[in-house]
């Protein structure tokens, strides 16, 4: 696997300044810091700096803040990706009971990660790695950091609606499947 470019963080923007104020001076150190940060939802996904006050982040906020940091330091070739993958009990063990109760083999889940020179980088949790989901990817698109809120949710729901229409044996409405998905996400934050 190729390494992500490492660079010295310059005071080129609010995200760069925030990392510097945390005594984080290189992009590599920023990725380590983010990966070690607890997994959890942020109070305000629109303000990526809340990742520092909340002391946690999701795949969306963690990878968006790294993308913004890369952009502020002129490394725009590091891409923020929205991928839809088959989240199942093998690649996401914590959700096995929720899937079993709802008689689902998997649920299509939206996941954010970074991509550089066609390689996937996942800093969601300390044990996250691309092999957890890359063989289960159904589709992926490049997005901007400000698209992790409404755009991501709308994109994900549209995909789920299409998936339900193509899999009529799954007798869930979009609202039902979204509730199952929310329960799965809750399973991920339980320790």
Domains contained in the chain, number: 1
How much of the chain exceeds pLDDT 70, in percent? Answer: 98
Q: Which residues contact 131 (CB under 8 A, 6 or more apart)?
A: none
Q: In whole numbers, what is the pLDDT of the chain averaged over residues?
A: 94
123 inside domain: no
Q: Which two tokens stand for residue 27?
A: 């992009």
37 inside domain: yes
Tell me, what's the pLDDT at 38?
A: 93
Helix (H) or strand (E) holding 16: helix 14-21
| 3-state class (DSSP) for residue 43 | coil
175 inside domain: no
30 inside domain: yes
99 inside domain: no
List the chain pLDDT tens, one digit each, 191 residues.
678 999 999 998 999 999 999 999 999 999 999 999 998 888 888 899 999 999 999 999 999 999 999 999 999 999 999 999 999 999 999 999 999 999 999 999 999 999 999 999 999 999 999 998 999 999 999 999 999 999 999 999 999 999 999 999 999 999 999 999 999 988 987 75
Q: How far is Cα 16 from Cα 37, in angstroms, rounded to an integer?
A: 17
Residue holding tokens 């490049």? 142
Count how many residues are written for the chain: 191
Rg (CA), the chain: 17
Q: How far is Cα 39 from Cα 56, in angstroms, rounded to an integer?
A: 5
84 inside domain: no
Q: Which two tokens stand for residue 49?
A: 């700096």
Tell me, what's the pLDDT at 1?
A: 60
Tell me, what's the pLDDT at 191?
A: 54
Instruction: Note the pLDDT tens digit of each residue in 22-72.
Output: 999 999 999 999 999 998 888 888 899 999 999 999 999 999 999 999 999
45 inside domain: yes
Residue-number span of the structural domain to which 26 is assigned: 14-72
152 inside domain: no
Tell me, what's the pLDDT at 55?
A: 94
Q: Which two tokens stand for residue 81?
A: 């990706």
């Amino acid at each position: 696997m190729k390494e992500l470019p490492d660079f010295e963080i310059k005071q080129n923007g609010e995200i760069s300044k925030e990392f510097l104020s945390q005594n984080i001076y290189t992009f590599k150190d920023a990725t380590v810091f983010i990966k070690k940060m607890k997994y959890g939802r942020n109070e305000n996904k629109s303000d990526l700096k809340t990742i520092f006050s909340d002391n946690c982040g999701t795949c969306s906020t963690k990878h968006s803040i790294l993308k913004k940091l890369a952009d502020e330091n002129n490394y725009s070739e590091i891409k923020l990706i929205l991928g839809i993958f088959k989240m199942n009990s093998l690649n996401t063990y914590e959700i096995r009971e929720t899937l079993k109760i709802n008689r689902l083999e998997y649920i299509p889940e939206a996941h954010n990660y970074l991509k550089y020179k066609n390689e996937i980088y996942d800093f969601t949790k300390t044990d996250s790695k691309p092999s957890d989901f890359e063989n289960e990817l159904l589709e992926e698109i490049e997005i901007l950091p400000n698209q992790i809120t409404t755009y991501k949710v709308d994109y994900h729901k549209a995909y789920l609606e299409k998936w339900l229409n193509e899999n009529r044996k799954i007798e869930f409405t979009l609202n039902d499947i979204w509730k199952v998905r929310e329960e799965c996400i809750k399973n991920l934050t339980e320790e």
